[in-house]
Amino acid sequence: MTEHRGTAGGGAPPERLGDYVLERRLGSGGMGVVYLARTVAGRQLAVKVIRREYAEDPGFRDRFRREVAAARRVSGAFTAPVVDADPEGDPPWLATLYVPGGSLTDRVQHEGPMTAREAARVGAQLAEALQDIHRCGLVHRDLKPGNVLLAKDGVRVIDFGISRALSDSHRLTERGAVLGSPPFMAPEQLTGESEVTTAADVFALGAVVAFAVTGHSPFEAGGLPGGDPLAVAYRVVHEEPDLGDLPDSLRDLVSLCLAKDPERRPEVSALLRMAEWADTRAQAAVIRASPVWRGGQAERRQDDTPARATPRARRRRRLMIGAAALAVAVAGFGGWLAGVSNTDADADGDMSAGTGPPRATPVEPWELALQDIGVRDAATEGFSCRPTTTYLLCSAGGALAVVLDRDGTELWRHTGPRDAIGGPSAFTTGGAVLVRSDKGVATFSEAGDELWEIDAPELTGELLRVRGTLVLQNGDSTLRFYSVDSPAQVGEWSTPGRYLTEAVSSGSYALVESRTEETGADPQLMLLDADGREAWTAPRRPPAEVTGYLETIGMDQEAAYFQELDADLPVVTAVVRLDLSDGTWTRTELSRSADPRGVVADGVVYASDTAGVITAVDAAAGEELWTAETGIGTASEPAVADGRLYLSDGEGRLYEVNAADGEVLRSGEVHAGTPGPGSDAWAPAPVIADGVAYVVTLGNTLYATPLDDLREP
C-alpha cells in the first residue's frame, strides 16, 4: 500500500512510498519527479514518481510498466539496478540505487566540458553499458547526458522509459509526438522511416561524447545548448553534424557514430574498443589514416542517398570496422592481443606461444563453443590462449580469465572488473596465473588458489616478466617491478613529462617506449633490468630512414624487432631491428605490405596478411629470405614452433607451413562455428604445446587437435 501526502505533480512531496522514506527532491522531468530516499537500514535510493496527469493515462501507465520491466532486465557495472517498483501504485514509482555525483549534464554545466581522455573513457563505459542493455534484447532509445550519471567508479545509465524490445522496434509516440531528446536522437527515430535498432543507441552515444567534450550537441546551432527542438531535429535528419570544435582524437570516432545510415555506424563491440583508444595520442593518427575511417567519412558526404546495402555488404562493413579496431589495438602497450612477444620466454621456460613442458597422456580432439564461457565474439573481445606449465590459460583482455584442462574441461575462472577495458590480459609465469582484479593484480596457483594481490589502482598495459621480476604499468608514465614469488616491490622506473606507449621483454631486460606528454612525438626507447635500473646511458631514438610508426614485434637477448607502419595507412611496409648491445638499427623494406601482426623466432621476422601471404625477413642481415602465397584465406596471426608456422583460416582450418620456404605442408578439418560481428578480423595465433594445437576460430570456438592428425593438402 502506498502512503503519500500531496501529489507528485505539485504541493508537498509524498513522505513515504512503500517501505521508503523520501528525504528530498533531486530533480524533475516532463513525466515525473525524482526523490532521494532511504530504506529502514539507511541505504540511499533514487525514487522516480510519475506525475498524476500521466499516471491517470492508461496508455502512459502501460508504458511505465514497460520501463519497469526493461530496467529490471538490465544489469551491469554501468547501469543503475532496480531495487523496487510499484507501477500500479497511486502514484506509480520506480526505485533504483542512488548514484551520487550527478549527471553528465550537471558535470558540464558546473565544471565545464571534459578533457578528451575523460570523454573517451565515458564513451567506452557507455559502450559497455549498451552491450548489457542490448544483450537483454533492448534498445535504450533515450541515451542523453541527463540519463548518464557519473559515479566514482564509472558512469551509470538510467531511465528506460522509452526503451523497447528489439523485436518491437516500431516508432513509439505519445500524443502524436516522437518520444526522446532531438539533440541525441538518431534520424530514424525522428522520421520513423526505418526500424529503430541498437544503431540508434550508437548514434546517441556519439552525440553524448561530443557533448561531454564540447558542452553541446553537434546539431545545436552555434554550439549553444538548447534551442528550438524542431530545428534541431531537422538538422539531425538533413544536415551533417558540426564537429569542428571536437579534439582530433575524438572527431572521427564521433563522426562514425553519427552516420545518417544506421548500417554505417560501428557495432557496439567494436565501438567499445575504439572509444578506449580514441584518446591515445600516438595511435590517433593511425586511426584517422585507416581506409575504413576514410571510407566511412566519404560515404557520409555523398549527396545522394545510396541504395540499401545487401546483407552481405552490411555484414562486411561492420566486420571491417571491427578489424580496424583490432588492427589499431595491436599498436599500443594496452592492446588486448595476448602477449607482446611470441619469443618472450621467462626464466622458467614459459612461452606466450610455442612449446610447453612434455606430457605423457595424449590429448583427444575437442571443441568448445566460447559462448558457453561468456565470450560473445572472440575476434572483437580479444580472446586468446597461452599454455601454463600444466593447463591452458585463456582470457579476454582483463575482463575474463579461464583455466582449462587439456581435455577442454573448465577448471576455474576469474572475472575481472567491469571497467577492465584496455587492462592486461591474464598472464602465466612460474606456475602462477596473474589476472586483473579490483585492486590491481591478483595471483593464483594454477589450481585456482588465490596467493596474493598487488595494489595497482592505475593498472594498464600488459604484464611482463624479466628474470624473477614481474613488470606492470601503473599510470601513464610509471613501471613497477615485483618479485614473481611474493607481492614485494623490488623496483620502479618512471619518465616524468612523458607517457609509456609500448613495452616488450626478454629473459633479462625490458624495452620501453615513451613519448612526450604534450604532443605524443619524440619516441624514445630505454632498456631496463629486472630491478628497473636503466641499462643504457641514454635513450635510443628511431633512425631518420624510419618515416612511419614503429610497433614492437618482440625481443630476444640480442635485439628488439619492430614493424614499421606506413605513414598514411595501417599496413606494415618494413621490418626494423635494434641491436641491444651497440644501438645500431637495421631496416628491411618489404616487397609487399603486410598486416600489423608480425612474429619473430631465431632472428627471423615473419610478416603476413589475411590473404595468406607470408614474408620471412632476416632482420640482422636486412634482407628478405622468401615470400610465399599460401592461399590461406582470412589467415590468422601465425605462431612459430619447431621450424614450422601455424595459421588458421576463416573456417577454422589449421595449417602447418614450412618456416624455411613458406610451403604449406599439412592442414586440418574445418571448424566453422558461428561467426560473430568480428569475423572479418583475423583470429589470434594458434597455441602449439606438446604436439597439440589449440585454435581460436572466427566462428567463436576453441578447439584442440593433435598435430599428428594433420594431413597433407
Catalytic residues: 142
Q: How is the beta sheet containing 644-648 ordered, strand by strand?
A: 639-641, 644-648, 654-658, 664-667
Residues constituting the chain: 713
**Grid cell in block for residue 420:** 577492465
Examine residue 183 and say whether the peptide bond preceding it is cis (omega within 30 degrees of 0): no
**Grid cell in block for residue 315:** 555484414
* Terminal-to-terminal C-alpha distance of the chain: 74
411 and 385 in contact (C-beta within 8 Å)? no
Report how far Cα 160 is from the mean position of its chain's Cα atoms. Answer: 25
624 and 615 in contact (C-beta within 8 Å)? yes
137 and 167 in contact (C-beta within 8 Å)? yes
Cα–Cα dist 670/664, whole Å: 16
626 and 661 in contact (C-beta within 8 Å)? yes
The SS3 call for residue 27 is strand
Burial class for 603, CB neighbours closer than 10 Å (0-12, 13-18, 19+): middle
Radius of gyration of the chain (CA): 27
**Rounded to 5°, angle at Cα 166 from 160 and 172:** 60
Cα–Cα dist 34/159, whole Å: 11
**Grid cell in block for residue 170:** 516500431
Cβ of 532: how many Cβ atoms within 10 Å? 20
Between the alpha carbon of residue 159 and those of residues 26, 33, 151, 205, 218, the distances in Å are 14, 12, 16, 15, 23
Cα–Cα dist 645/686, whole Å: 10
Maximum Cα–Cα distance for the chain, whole Å?
86
Residue at grid coordinates 602449439: 688
Between the alpha carbon of residue 55 and those of residues 5, 61, 90, 427, the distances in Å are 16, 6, 8, 55
* Strand spans (E) along 566-686: 572-579, 585-594, 599-601, 604-608, 613-618, 623-629, 639-641, 644-648, 654-658, 664-667
Residue 500: which H helix or E strand, with range? Answer: strand 498-505
